[in-house]
Amino acid sequence: MAGITRRDLLQSGLALSASSLVTRSAWARANTLFAGDLQAKTASAATLPAVAPREQLLFDFGWKFILGNSADPAKDLGFGMGQGDFAKTGDFDFAKAKFDDSKWRTLNLPHDWAVELPFVNDETTIGDDMPFQSHGFKPIGRKYPETSVGWYRREFEIPASDLGRRITVEFDGVFRDVLVFVNGCFIGRNDNGYAPFRFDLTDFLSYGAKNYIVARVDASFGDGWFYEGAGIYRHVWLTKTDALHLGQWESTVRSAMNGSAAALTLGAVVENQGRQAESARVTWQIQDAAGKSVATAEAAVQSVAADGSASYTATAKLANPALWSPDTPNLYTAIVTVETNGKAGDAERISFGVRSAVFDADKGFFLNGKPVKIQGTCNHQDHAGVGAALPDRLQAFRLGVLKEMGCNAVRTSHNMPTPEWVDGCDRMGLMMMCETRQMSSNPEGLAQLATMVKRYRNSPSIILWSIGNEEWEMQTGEAEQGVKVGTSMVRLCHELDPTRPVSAAVNGSNRGGVSEALDVIGFNYNLGLPDKFHKDFPKRPCYGSETASAISTRGEYTTDPLRNTLSAYDVNQPGWGEMAEEWWTFYGTREWEAGGFAWTGFDYRGEPTPYGWPSISSQFGIVDTCGFPKDSFYYYKSWWGTGPVLHLFPHWNFEGREGDEIPVWVHSNLDEVELLVNGASQGSKKVAHLGHVEWKVRYEPGSIEARGSKDGKVLLTEKRETTGAPVSIRLSADRTEIGADGEDVAVLKAEALDKEGRPVPTAMNLLKFNITGEGKLIGVGNGDPNCQESDKEPKRSLFNGLAQVIVQATKHPGEIHIEAMKEGWEGVPLMPAKLTITTRQVELRPAVAVPGEED
């Protein structure tokens, strides 16, 4: 990115650009996003005008893959054998027709090869840092040349009718250093793992013939200190436009309420890659969620010079708009069209929402003029079974888990998020703190920041831009570089998007350094600092950019360093953090605090804390890596949600501990809770605001029961019973009908039941799975931070009664049959379980054809 100027960042399409988010958001498939009972609405393509001059084709299916070698050219397709690889254009044989890739593995994208690798016990340290451990104990890095490079290859055809169009390949994200070749020619490189990038292939393609693209991905270097995966882990697109087309991510819709109406400020840039000037105008059509046209606008004709661009602006008015909020995530669509000589040309669809978001130093955060506490979580992007390569549906599944507990905001820790995560927040109603990976005003840092802001500035869910996280050298009072770097980054954000404030996650005093440049002050931990800061700087809005770091293991009720487990009671934090009840009592009771983001919503690979090997994932999550709730989930649901909650724990299976004193907790937002042990009352206790209730009772098999009352009447009851041994398996799914599009997934839960049909909360049985029909297994997990079983093999141990199976549909309607059975013959047999998932015919996303595959 060297040589990029501020003017380039503001006015160009950016070398880092990729395909249009909004075009993808309007797929015409019947899949819906899951968020409890919330069903996201997607616009039907039938209600939108054709945009024939622009084609955006999914380029995910039918790739070939093989591991290379970063140290031995002989094991890396001969690449780098000498120093003449780049001497002549068109000389790379591995990107030509005659190259033999018959021994390469066929796969679809997204793909993360790191998650497929075995775990390796390597606790290498550099100073106080443990880089290998923090990345999840996978053999990725310069020490592991044989597993740190991957090659992807794809054959594709370009019709002769495309001659004269501009054709680009667009990558949403590759980890990490990638070289791209087409038809023997080197096309370009990208050297970061999170920002999208694209290359114009127009001059290198064969029209009316077969073409070959190759990507060499080297994951030896990382961007962060957490699990980051390896490979082409986000979508790839092939985009075709006319020479005269809309600039990428240059179409903007900004709304401002004026009484009962919304004033829309519309903008677009038209680029001309043709050989002669063109006269063009731009029109806008605004549609509501039902596809009804509710406003139009147009900008006057301008001449767009050859190899030049022109900016267009207009205004429109929406009467009585449906506002966007977490409770009502209403969206509108702007159809932006270029016209020449009265004929419609290039067009795109921009999804946007109408809302106001204000941080106030005295009163906290306001959304649409109403006070709202940010009830947020920080999240990395990996999931059990699939690593960093999440199918789109799994993004929605994860958001649904968070929304179920009352979470209304997410922070994209610590990198530019995938488009599907942002789109899911827009459609399902979660606010977002959108964070860039690199805090720097060097050309690369500014380019990544500009790409993020331009790509997502139309998304109503985003309420804050974040320019970085815990940059020690940038955030101290003596950090002159921090002030300068922060000022440059904040200024760029404001220039590209004047509607949102800019912040950063600072684990310090916020009295100098980068903090001087910020619009909103974020505190990471350190509950002793915000009150004093607010007193000294009463005009600066504050919130908790990263809080909690409470640690626990799902289903465990004692902390056992010999087993690397942590009690699931809200009693553990690693020294710098706070328990759930502690941090939320602080932020939830101060009017001037906007709220905060708990570390973390989901457990994630890497950063095992406080233990090392054999722990391979964190234990910070409110839910585990599968999304199975820990008990603290219900603390948040009690005080973040809107309905009555009563959650009793622990389970009541403590064989061998008869007579021992067992803490019994209840998370509830009711007035009072009574506890019964084997039918005998242990008394009632008032539930303190933002608190919980607990008892200590002697264990004896049987049952414990909680009765929660409101206004003197029992409203909810919950019981835990001592179960018998497992005798059978149960399978259930988040959905039993999914789309037959080659992408959609069903997320299954496996449990062990006793003879009474009760889930056994301590079951650890090893299960195997058989998947047949129109689907395939893409991953398994169980949420155990110490489990080193394969994420890809069709078997998995239950962990404290639960395991997860993720199956993906083919493109053929039919049924997927899943059978779960006990692995091995030892011990008591378990009755198998079967489940059928129906895959219905849906309209497929336009995609690049796979050679030999029927349409």
Would you name the residues annotated as active-site residues?
A: 470, 546
Q: How far apart are CA 393 and CA 428, in angstroms?
A: 13
Is 213 in contact with 184 (CB distance < 8 Å)? no
Mark residue 105 as left, alpha or beta (left: phi above 0; alpha: psi -120 to 50; beta: remaining). beta
Q: What angle do helix axes 480-496 and 443-456 make, rounded to 10 degrees?
A: 30
Strand-pairing partners, residue 179, are 189, 216
Q: What is the DSSP string of 549-596?
A: -----TT--S-BTTTTB--SSTT---SSS--HHHHHHHHHT-TTEEEE
Candidates 760, 668, 663, 754; CA nearest to 717 is 668
What the block records as the tokens of 185 is: 């020619």
Q: How far apart are CA 181 and CA 201, in angstroms?
A: 10
Is 544 in contact with 595 (CB distance < 8 Å)? yes
Q: How far apart are CA 842 and CA 838, in angstroms?
A: 12
Q: How far apart are CA 486 and CA 724, in angstroms?
A: 60
Is 635 in contact with 564 (CB distance < 8 Å)? no
Q: How far apart are CA 486 and CA 826, in angstroms?
A: 61
Is 515 in contact with 521 (CB distance < 8 Å)? yes
Look up residue 471 and give its DSSP letter.
-
Which helix (H) or strand (E) covers residue 313, if one does? strand 308-319
What are the b/e assignments for 77-107, b being 16+ CB within 10 Å?
bebeeeeeeeeeeeebebbeeebebeebeeb
- Long-range own/partner contacts, residues 438-443 (CB < 8 A, 24 or more apart): 438/192, 438/223, 438/468, 439/467, 439/468, 439/469, 439/471, 439/474, 439/485, 439/486, 439/489, 439/504, 439/514, 440/485, 440/489, 441/484, 441/485, 441/488, 441/489, 443/1, 443/2, 443/3, 443/4
Alpha helices, DSSP H only, in 64-213? Answer: 131-134
What the block records as the tokens of 542 is: 């504050």
Is 95 in contact with 205 (CB distance < 8 Å)? no
Candidates 355, 316, 307, 309; CA nearest to 336 is 316
- At a CB cut-off of 8 Å and minimum separation 6, what does 505 contact? 411, 414, 435, 466, 468, 469, 470, 522, 524, 545, 546
Q: How far apart are CA 349 and CA 50, in angstroms?
A: 11
Residue in the structure block whose two tokens are 């109408």? 354
Burial of residue 671, with CB atoms counted within 10 A of its CB: 0-12 exposed, 13-18 middle, 19 or more buried: middle
Torsion of CA 339, 342, 343, 348, to 10 degrees: 30
- At a CB cut-off of 8 Å and minimum separation 6, what does 98 contact? none
Please provide residue 634's backbone torsions phi and psi, each rounded to the nearest 5 degrees: -85, -20
Which amino acid is present at 499? Answer: T
- Helix (H), strand (E), coil (C) string for 589-650: CCCCEEEEEEECCECCECCCCCCCCCCCECCCCCECCCCCECCHHHHHHHHHCCCCCEEEEC
Strand-pairing partners, residue 39, are 34
Cα 13 to Cα 167, 237, 843: the distances in Å are 15, 16, 31
Look up residue 175 and give its DSSP letter.
B
What the block records as the tokens of 638 is: 């009690």
Alpha helices, DSSP H only, in 443-538? Answer: 443-456, 472-475, 480-496, 530-536
